[in-house]
Amino acid sequence: MDQEVLAERQERLCGTITRRAFLCAALAGGASLLTGRASAMLGATLPIPTNAGDNSIFRVGGDLPVNRLGFGAMRLTGEGIWGWPPDRENARKVLRCAVELGANLIDTADAYGPETDELLIAEALYPYPKGLVIATKGGTTRPGPNQWVPDGRPEYLKQCVDKSLKRLKVERIDLYQLHRVDPKVPMEDSLGALKEAQSAGKIRHIGLSEVSPEQVQRARKILPIVTVQNRYNITDRKWENTLTFCEKETIGFMPWAPVGGSRGMTSAALEKAAKDHGVTIYQLGLAWLLHRSPVMLPIPGTSSLAHLEENMAARKIQLTAEEWKTIDAVGSQT
């Protein structure tokens, strides 16, 4: 990457708008950035679009419009997804810039930190702009760094919901996801607790994570399921059957590790394809996801402002049907 461009990206602050950053954010905000509204750029957020006639918008649960490329906040915590980040102010800047660049779906969980990720979101973005959807999760405990233990007990999940409401400073969570199905607890019991919270007005919509089509069907006998969050990317398609089910039922599919996560994406063929089109392999991977399905809601995460801008730029990649077909074939062989 050109060093001058890289330096400009690294120097960008959300409270300091350069001409290039202004233009980039204006593209993300669309036509709603009118004369006299530019001053809003100097604050934390841009106006967030709520309508679109193209494929860039998905309506979660049929009534929550979000831009399909969102932001995953997990990487803003400390090493091992544990504790506060080494640069807390930078984490807040990344969150504000993500919204400025058009990400109005932010994914988090009470287990990220634990707790610190939700607190960071509130620190950076509260009071929240109209149209911002914060999706959080509960049902996984954290004994230590890089340790994840499911807990789907109804009494525990009820506490999780109440504590997330308090940390995020909201009266209702737009999208609450069961982080994992606990093999020691019947799914009906876990979801029953979430249904109670939903009936009490604490949750708007409910989603699942790392589940099969059969588990989604089982869950839908208890309550509506509007999203599924499974690991999925161009080189890891283990959950293709779940994606196919979500497409059929118009359920939002939120792929975690959309560009490989800690494993990364290593493919000489994909690297070549990305270079041929003048983009990075990660941008190509995100663009492929958006192309793959209209229910796809990628949530790439990063703690870097430069990487954030690169990720969000993936929305602009336009290739022919034949080019996508070739890239799809290459990715499926890795």
Active-site residues: which are they? Answer: 112
DSSP sequence for 95-137: HHHHHHTT--EEE--TTTBTTHHHHHHHHHHPSPPTT-EEEEE
CA nearest to 245, candidates 223, 217, 219 = 217
Taking each helix axis as running N to C, give the angle between helix 154-168 and helix 116-125, from 0 to 180 degrees, rounded to the nearest 10: 30
Q: Are 44 and 14 in contact (CB under 8 A)?
A: yes
Interacting residues of 289 by C-beta distance below 8 A, sequence separation 6+: 232, 233, 234, 255, 258, 296, 298
Show contacts of 165-169: CB within 8 Å, 24+ apart.
165/202, 167/110, 167/115, 167/118, 167/119, 167/122, 168/118, 168/121, 168/122, 168/126, 168/134, 168/136, 169/122, 169/126
Q: What is the DSSP letter of 50?
A: -
CA 93 to chain centre: 17
Taking each helix axis as running N to C, give the angle between helix 116-125 and helix 88-100, from 0 to 180 degrees, rounded to the nearest 10: 60
Q: Taking the alpha carbons of 292, 102, 307, 173 in that order, is the dihedral positive or negative?
A: negative
Both tokens of 1, joined, read 């990457």
- Identify any residues that bridge with 206 across adjacent strands, giving them in sequence order: 176
As to burial, measured by CB atoms within 10 angstroms (0-12 exposed, 13-18 middle, 19+ buried), residue 134 is buried
